[in-house]
Amino acid sequence: MNRSGRSRELSWSISDRTSRDKRTPGAQGRTRPDEQVARALSRALGPLPSTVLATVVAAWAGGPDGRLGAVATTVGLFAGAAVLALALVRLVGGPGSVTRRRAVPWVLAAELVALAVGAVLGVPDEVVRAFAAYFATGLVALAGARRNVSAHGLLAGTLVGLLLGWFPGVGAAGVVVLAALVWARVRLGQHTVAQAVVGAAVGVLLGFVATLGSGG
């Protein structure tokens, strides 16, 4: 693997600040409209936003009884754990340390703690299913780092898979948004078409499988 490929493999900043955008020659640093759209999509559907949205979806799918309370508890636990883990990675490693290889193990460990606390608090079964899907997604993200499989696609795809299982109408719209994200990652030069599509497809599969047999 050449040096540029190695750098791209490790680039997993949540803010996407390390993107190697493709710019038009002679544009004198100006960002084209399509690049602006691609950057906005990458930020809106980055790993952390996708995971937080998935916790909302899972808690909402748990049923009408205490639904808002379940959403608040779930988001507080899992989003809080993820943010804390990323903050610790940055604190220990310094600026630029939030890479896939460094961040994912910390986030998975923090989410395990959040799940244990959630089990005591009685989070819905759907939340446990979503956690299992995202835990598997995290492992795939680590395994696919060397081949630069899209982490954005994996995590957003898992969200879409959960939606397809629990809220098919919304999930169908999510597929369209996911396709736009795949385009965005390729447009920004972060992945090849194959890397982005494989990440999204595997994510959708993991998310949808997690919903099978659920009462959501």
Please, are residues 190 and 8 in contact by the beta-carbon 8 Å criterion? yes
What number of other Cβ atoms are within 10 A of residue 162's Cβ?
32
Question: If you average pLDDT over every residue of the chain, what do you get?
Answer: 82
Task: Label residue 26 by pLDDT band (50, 70, 90).
Answer: very low
**CB under 8 Å to 173, separation ≥6 — which residues?**
none
Indicate the angle between helix axes 168-187 and 193-211, nearest 10 degrees.
160
Q: Whole-prediction pTM value?
A: 0.78
DSSP string, 128-140: HHHHHHHHHHHHH
pLDDT tens digits for range 14-23: 334 434 444 4
